[in-house]
Amino acid sequence: MPAFSFRLIATDGAARCGEIVTPHGAVATPAFMPVGTQATVKGLLPEAVRATGADILLGNTYHLMLRPGAERVAALGGLHKFMNWPHAILTDSGGFQVMSLAGLRKIEEKAVTFRSHLDGALVELSPERAIEIQGLFGADIAMQLDECVKLPAPHAELERAMQLSLRWAERSKRAFEGAAPGRALFGIVQGGDDPKLRLASARALVDMGFDGYAIGGLAVGETPEVMRATIEDVAPALPAERPRYLMGVGTPADLLQAVARGVDMFDCVLPTRNGRHGLAFTRRGPVALKNARHADDQRPLDPESSCPAARDYSRAYLHHLIKAGEMLGAVLLTMVNLAYYQELMAAARSAVAAGQFEDFRRKTCALWEQGDLPPR
């Protein structure tokens, strides 16, 4: 199994395209990672996820440590085997969901203690345990435990959480030393909307030295301008020869904005969650399939899509499935959306390689703004 590596293939302004190699295959960047929270991308067979073009999935440590449990997954051969996904997997550290889902959180220097949202059990998650769990899963890319603060927040709070995250980064790195060869560990830049804190965080992490660097603590309440400015501040402070991962972001427009500023990796629940709720992402912008205007529309969502779900079913049928609450509606629109995100990333890679990223971004946005096909 090849060891983790990253190779920059081309740049265009700040935008980059490259290739990550992991023990479970290569990942073309910029890359979008579908979210497989509970060891499944909701509703899709793993081969269907792969068919959308995904090279890598994200798994959620918080959910998986509580059910089915990290030691159990390890005994069953690891997360790849458990969920029948032979390609790359990145797992988060669990920190973000402890903050957003668990009850009775207590953050201390040593660890975060919380009550499971499933059965109320008291659970402790330390930086060392987060690394251990991700090792039990066999994640190709593990993330340090960090503390993510919702915005807006007082400066002192942002600084405290950023400093704690740095100390946890060091402990995570030490804990990772015994990890199986070839696996990677990413540090996470925190500091909220404060550029000085962000830079201090980035520099300290780079001094420690990680296989890749994530920008955390965004898409947590700030404006799009703050998100863009923060990426613009942080990305240049990160080493060019390491991948950069913007956590939990975002819309198709967010992705292109971030690629333009040098980001290589993304994950987000938007394409899957919105798909389940009847919203499709397309070349012509979002399409709400619940809308009655689709009820008699024989046309597919997008005949030029790479995805059979966008080509082989009428809007009328998708509308019917969503209105009737049928699982197949969620399944088809999840496919459509994941395929669209992957197409967007593939097109971004080609545009960077051709030195035409800004032109591509402008044309793509223009088509989104033009909007969906007029009703027939």
Q: Which is nearer to a copy of itself, 272 or 282 (CB)?
A: 272
Indicate if 267 belongs to the active site.
yes
Q: Tell the smallest beta-carbon distance from residue 332 to a copy of itself (Å).
A: 8
CB of 71 to a copy of itself, least distance (A): 10
**Of 127 and 275, which has the nearer Cβ to a copy of itself?**
275
In contact, 232 and 302? CB cutoff 8 Å: no
CA distance readout (Å), 143 to 123, 163, 180, 221: 19, 17, 15, 22
Q: Which is nearer to a copy of itself, 198 or 276 (CB)?
A: 276
Q: Is the Cβ of residue 108 or residue 312 nearer to a copy of itself in the bound state?
A: 312
Site residues, a copy of itself (CB under 8 A): 38-40, 42-45, 67-68, 72, 75-77, 82-84, 295-296, 298, 312-314, 316-317, 320-321, 323-324, 326-328, 330-332
Is 372 part of the annotated catalytic residue set?
no
Among residues 12, 92, 146, 372, the one annotated as catalytic is: 92
Out of 55, 267, 297, 302, the active site residue is 267
Q: Is the peptide bond before 46 cis (omega within 30 degrees of 0)?
A: no
| Smallest distance, a copy of itself to C-beta of residue 62, A | 13
**In the complex with a copy of itself, which residue's Cβ is closer, 63 or 242?**
63
User: Which is closer to a copy of itself, CB of 26 or CB of 74?
Assistant: 74
Least distance (Å) from a copy of itself to the CB of residue 48? 8
Shortest distance, CB of residue 65 to a copy of itself, whole angstroms? Answer: 13
* Cβ 67 to a copy of itself shortest distance, Å: 6
Give the per-residue SS3 of the chain. CCCCEEEEEEEECCEEEEEEEECCEEEEECEEECECCCCCCCCCCHHHHHHCCCCEEEECHHHHHHCCCHHHHHHCCCHHHHCCCCCEEEECCCHHHHHHHCEEEEECCCCEEEECCCCCCEEEECHHHHHHHHHHHCCCEEECCCCCCCCCCCHHHHHHHHHHHHHHHHHHHHHHHHCCCCCEEEEEECCCCCHHHHHHHHHHHHHHCCCEEEECCCCCCCCHHHHHHHHHHHHHHCCCCCCEEECCCCCHHHHHHHHHCCCCEEECCHHHHHHHCCEEEECCEEEECCCHHHCCCCCECCCCCCCHHHHCCEHHHHHHHHHCCCHHHHHHHHHHHHHHHHHHHHHHHHHHHCCCHHHHHHHHHHHHHHCCCCCC
Residues forming the active site: 92, 267
